[in-house]
């Protein structure tokens, strides 16, 4: 995806994927357009201010809210998931919204506890039908999606 114009690039990619009869899954990074704007706040605040969840959800079947960098501050994680899930569903009521979690959200500098991850899930489980779990090992990452079976 072209990082200088991620939304138009995503639209082109989604059109090609949909033309092939497939579902388009987007997972825009929180800092995706921060360098291209005058936004000077934290990347998640710029992401919210630019309505990137809504812009990507408009052409996506599934959107992963990459909230994992916020999971160590549960109030911020919850607030971000609430706001971005609302933006995504306002743009596309049919989009499946997943929230990101990670076993190492900041490249190994911090490892969240099971209790912290459980708290994040407990607080947001009514907002999203599932989670994208990123499990990096330093060289690569394993990503696992877990969703409720009803309504998805």
- Going by C-alpha positions, the residue among 79, 8, 106 that lies closest to residue 28 is 8
Question: What pLDDT sits at residue 59?
Answer: 98
Q: Higher pLDDT residue, 144 or 95?
A: 95
Say if residue 141's pLDDT is above 90: no
Q: What Rg do the C-alpha atoms of the chain give, in angstroms? A: 15
Do 96 and 147 meet the contact criterion of CB atoms below 8 Å apart?
Answer: yes
Question: What pLDDT sits at residue 140?
Answer: 55
Q: Higher pLDDT residue, 147 or 46?
A: 46
User: Which positions ≥6 away from 37 have C-beta within 8 Å?
Assistant: 46, 50
Ranking 19-33, 46-60, 88-102, 133-147 by mean pLDDT, the lowest is 133-147
pLDDT level of residue 152 (50, 70, 90 thresholds): very low
- Cα 51-21-11 angle, rounded to 5 deg: 25
Mind listing the pLDDT tens digit for each residue in 71-117? Answer: 877 789 999 999 999 999 999 999 999 999 988 766 666 788 888 88
Domains annotated for the chain, with CATH where assigned, are 6-147 (3.20.20.60)
* pLDDT averaged over every residue in the chain: 85
């Amino acid at each position: 995806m072209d990082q200088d114009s991620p939304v138009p690039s995503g639209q082109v990619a989604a059109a090609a994927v949909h033309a092939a009869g497939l579902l388009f899954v987007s997972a825009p990074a929180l800092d995706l357009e921060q360098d291209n704007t005058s936004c000077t706040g934290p990347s998640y605040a710029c992401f919210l201010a630019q309505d990137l969840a809504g812009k990507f959800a408009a052409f996506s079947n599934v959107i992963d809210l990459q909230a994992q960098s916020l999971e160590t501050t549960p109030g911020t994680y919850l607030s971000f998931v609430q706001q971005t899930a609302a933006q995504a569903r306002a743009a596309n009521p049919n989009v499946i919204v997943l929230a990101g979690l990670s076993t190492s959200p900041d490249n190994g500098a911090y490892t969240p506890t099971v209790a912290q991850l459980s708290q994040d899930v407990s607080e947001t489980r009514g907002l999203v039908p599932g989670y994208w779990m990123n499990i990096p090992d330093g060289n690569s990452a394993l990503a696992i999606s877990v969703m409720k079976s009803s309504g998805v």
